[in-house]
């Protein structure tokens, strides 16, 4: 691969020559032309985000009304609120689609000049000479052998890096400038080294949580002081944070999944998984459903408002060692001790395809552009477009420190083509072109925010905090209208209520009355079908021929017959 080609192929942003023409279309004074562009923007946004169904009920002056829009509601106030909600939803879709049209920056992957070249043979030393100086500075290794192995965690903007050694070393770095901000050496009562199992940042980089030997502890990133101890989370093995709900979730050796609201400090819920110790936990970024990987090969999906798992999948024949979810929330990748890496479609809960690993997989992660990272042994393998289609060869491959180390954790740095690798000898940072998203929204995640902007973002996030009850498999159902009739709704509620109740124990009846045949006969005693009607008519005709027709008469029929036979003043009423 020549230097000119590599230098030209790898670019974090590629400018399109059609930018000016698109801007002129949007700024045009022609109403017909602007309406056409707006409709194209709506269709493009709906197709990309699979939200065509949500746009069906929207009222827009240039879009035809559907049958749902013509439905009249009894409550005029509710109808007006739904109309305003639909109009705002379409307006947001239009603005988002127009912003995507104007955004011409795309990430660049490595491309080969001919079919004989392979991108996975390119090493970091060769790549550093073809990229800019700022990007080449992100290729480095940190030798930290005293407290290894290390876990890697990035905050949501991708500015700060949290390194946690298994035996108590914690370091917070500025990933952009590679400067150390705070370093901690944690011990257990000052006697022995601590045991850090998992780590995560909270709502921003100012606080982080550690799953230590006995409990979960929250620390201040600036001063390093202990802010809070969560005593309810006993012996945790894995923790994760839901930023839009302000919920800190943990699962431990006892198999209990616990949620805590970090804004109020209240315990939200506690669920018993009944599947033993669990150390694999990642949340779906689309619907905030928590995915747990268990030792019997089962993957469960949980919501804080439901005491039972939403979904249970038998993913592997052995323990689940790692799992990851893509940014869109449609695919899940799991790795087990059976050397299998499987890609699941969360919408159908079926396997799309699977890969075989020669070594035991230790960690998985999926980038913002859909690149899959698989850490196994001393190597980290990157697969491009491996989720939607099965690939024959990897996109890139990296051997940490030329071998001799064991990979512990792999994480992609958001909005950058950088990957952090924690291993048994410290930490390594490498560059993988094309894994970072080039569409950067400073209102959502601003890595250059100052103190005032961080405070405003924190207040805004608290005001927009979502309730735990909104976490479900299909978040689009929230805010909709249930169109079922009252009787159908009552039946659904009765079925749901009866499913939660314990089954009643049947009384044991003596002398053979507790047999299966007797139970079925009692259940079908009052059920009348065509066969039973024919049998009853046949028996009645036979009894009448033998003079025993009264045995099959109902009490009313017997009374009528008796009145006719006896006669009298009231006999006319029995005719």
pLDDT in tens, 216-235: 999 999 999 999 999 999 99
Task: Spell out the residues 6+ positions from residue 89 whose beta carbon is closer than 8 angstroms to its own.
Answer: 54, 55, 58
Nearest Cα neighbor of 179 from 187, 170, 169, 171 is: 171
User: What pLDDT score does 482 carry?
Assistant: 65
d(Cα 368, Cα 464) in Å, to the nearest integer? 24
d(Cα 441, Cα 437) in Å, to the nearest integer? 10
User: What pLDDT score does 103 carry?
Assistant: 67
How are strands ordered across the β-sheet holding 407-412?
Answer: 140-143, 426-431, 418-423, 407-412
User: What pLDDT score does 253 carry?
Assistant: 95
User: What pLDDT score does 296 carry?
Assistant: 95
d(Cα 203, Cα 167) in Å, to the nearest integer? 26
> How many angstroms separate the Cα of 73 from the Cα of each of 64, 66, 88, 349?
20, 15, 20, 37
Instruction: Indicate the SS3 state at residue 365.
Output: strand
What pTM was computed for the model? 0.71
Domains and CATH numbers, the chain: 15-102 (no CATH), 147-314+444-474 (2.130.10.10), 516-574 (no CATH)
User: What pLDDT score does 298 carry?
Assistant: 97
> How many angstroms separate the Cα of 83 from the Cα of each of 56, 68, 91, 481, 485?
13, 11, 12, 12, 22
User: What pLDDT score does 386 carry?
Assistant: 92
Residuewise pLDDT in 10s, the chain (575 residues):
444 434 333 443 433 433 343 334 344 444 444 445 455 555 555 554 444 334 434 443 444 444 444 455 667 888 888 889 889 988 988 888 877 776 666 668 998 888 888 999 999 999 999 899 999 999 999 999 999 899 999 999 999 999 999 999 999 999 999 999 999 999 877 666 778 999 999 999 999 999 999 999 999 999 999 999 999 999 999 999 999 999 999 999 999 999 999 999 999 999 999 999 999 999 999 999 999 999 999 999 999 999 999 999 999 999 999 999 999 999 999 999 999 999 999 999 999 999 999 999 999 999 999 999 999 999 999 999 999 899 999 999 999 988 789 999 999 999 999 999 999 999 999 999 999 998 888 888 888 999 899 999 999 999 999 999 999 999 888 777 666 667 777 887 788 777 766 666 666 666 666 777 777 777 777 777 788 888 888 888 888 787 776 666 767 777 777 766 666 555 555 55
Burial zone of 113 (CB within 10 Å; 0-12 exposed, 13-18 middle, 19+ buried): exposed
């Amino acid at each position: 691969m020549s230097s000119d080609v590599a230098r030209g192929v790898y670019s974090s942003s590629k400018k399109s020559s059609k930018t000016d023409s698109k801007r002129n279309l949007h700024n045009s004074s022609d109403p017909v032309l602007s309406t056409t562009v707006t409709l194209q923007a709506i269709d493009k946004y709906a197709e990309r985000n699979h939200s065509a169904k949500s746009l069906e009920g929207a009222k827009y002056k240039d879009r035809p009304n559907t049958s749902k829009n013509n439905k009249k509601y009894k409550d005029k106030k509710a109808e007006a609120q739904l109309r305003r909600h639909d109009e705002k939803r379409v307006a947001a879709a239009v603005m988002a689609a127009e912003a995507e049209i104007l955004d011409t920056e795309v990430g660049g992957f490595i491309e080969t000049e001919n079919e004989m070249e392979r991108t996975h043979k390119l090493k970091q030393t060769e790549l550093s000479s073809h990229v800019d100086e700022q990007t080449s500075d992100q290729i480095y290794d940190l030798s930290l052998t005293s407290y290894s192995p290390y876990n890697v965690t990035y905050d949501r903007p991708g500015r700060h890096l949290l390194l946690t050694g298994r035996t108590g070393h914690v370091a917070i770095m500025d990933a952009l400038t590679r400067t150390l901000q705070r370093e901690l050496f944690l011990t257990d009562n000052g006697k022995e080294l601590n045991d850090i199992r998992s780590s995560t940042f909270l709502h921003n980089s100012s606080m982080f949580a550690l799953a230590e030997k006995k409990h979960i502890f929250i620390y201040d990133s600036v001063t390093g002081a202990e802010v809070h101890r969560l005593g309810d989370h006993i012996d945790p093995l894995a923790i994760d944070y839901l930023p839009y709900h302000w919920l800190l979730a943990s699962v431990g050796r006892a198999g209990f999944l616990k949620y805590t609201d970090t804004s109020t400090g209240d315990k939200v819920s506690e669920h018993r998984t009944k599947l033993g110790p669990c150390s694999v936990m990642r949340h779906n970024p689309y619907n905030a459903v928590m995915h747990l990987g268990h030792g019997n090969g089962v993957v469960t999906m949980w919501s804080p408002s439901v005491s039972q798992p939403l979904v249970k999948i038998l993913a592997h024949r052995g323990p689940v060692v790692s799992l990851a979810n893509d940014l869109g929330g449609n695919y899940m990748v799991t790795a087990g001790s059976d050397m299998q890496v499987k890609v699941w479609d969360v919408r159908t809960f079926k396997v799309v395809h699977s890969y075989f690993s020669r070594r035991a997989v230790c960690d998985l992660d999926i980038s913002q552009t859909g690149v899959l990272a698989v850490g196994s042994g001393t190597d980290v393998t990157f697969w491009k477009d491996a989720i939607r289609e099965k690939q024959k060869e990897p996109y890139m491959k990296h051997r940490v420190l030329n071998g001799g180390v064991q990979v512990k954790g792999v994480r992609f740095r958001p909005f950058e083509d950088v990957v952090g690798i924690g291993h048994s000898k410290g930490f390594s940072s490498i560059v993988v072109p094309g894994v970072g998203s080039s569409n950067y929204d400073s209102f959502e995640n601003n890595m250059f925010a100052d103190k005032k902007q961080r405070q405003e973002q924190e207040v805004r996030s608290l005001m927009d905090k979502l309730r735990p009850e909104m976490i479900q498999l299909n978040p689009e159902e929230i805010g909709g209208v249930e169109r079922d009739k009252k009787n159908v709704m009552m039946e659904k509620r009765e079925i749901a209520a009866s499913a939660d109740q314990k089954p009643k124990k049947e009384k044991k009846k003596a002398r053979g009355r507790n047999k299966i045949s007797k139970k079925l006969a009692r259940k079908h005693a009052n059920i009348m079908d065509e066969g039973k009607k024919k049998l009853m008519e046949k028996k009645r005709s036979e009894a009448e021929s033998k003079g025993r027709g009264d045995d099959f008469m109902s009490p009313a029929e017997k009374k009528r017959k008796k009145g006719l036979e006896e006669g009298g003043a009231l006999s006319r009423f029995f005719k």
